[in-house]
Structure 1
Amino acid sequence: MDVKRAMDIFNDKATIAVQLDGEDPVWIEHVDEVHGMATVQVGSRPTNTHTVSVDRLAEVEKL
């Protein structure tokens, strides 16, 4: 995913499914546009957050 799409998802009022490394579902909590990083919540625990490159995020295609 690129930084622009990560920002679009973060700012969207709709729920858009995103995965980290193609596996774990995540919620985007913050996007650092300058450094191309995003802070994400992994799973349903608010304390389980990671800061990762937006390159590791992928939007889940709707069927």
Structure 2
Amino acid sequence: MKVERAMHIYSSKDTFPVHLEGRPVWIENIDEDNGMATVQIGSDPLNTHTVAVDRLSEPEDRDQRG
């Protein structure tokens, strides 16, 4: 995923499915300058990781790309 798309998802009022290595995640924060994202894995708010944005993906069947 590109940083611009991650920023769009993060700032949107809509919900978009995002995955990290096949696991659903919720974007908590984006470090635009460094291309990093803090994500919550699954439904546990304490299970957060900071990863490169390019490791994030959307399911292939998404038709809308912001």
Task: Report TM bin, short chain.
Answer: over 0.9
Amino acid paired to 2:2: D
Give 1:1-63 correspondences, 5 Å limit: 1-21=1-21, 23-60=22-59, 61-62=61-62
After superposition, the CA RMSD in angstroms is 1.2
Gaps of 5+ in 1: none
In the TM superposition, what whole-angstrom CA distance separates every residue of 1:10-60 from its partner, at most 9, and x where no partner exists?
001111000002x11000000000000000000000000000000100012
Superposition misfits of 4+ residues, deviation over 3 angstroms:
none
| Count of residue pairs the alignment pairs up | 62
Give the distance between the partners of 1:50 and 1:15, measured in 2 at CA.
Answer: 20
The answer for unaligned runs of 5 or more in structure 2 is none
State the distance in 1 between where 2:8 and 2:16 align: 10
Give, as a single letter, the amino acid of the residue that structure 2 aligns with 1:3.
Answer: V
* Identity, % of aligned positions: 58
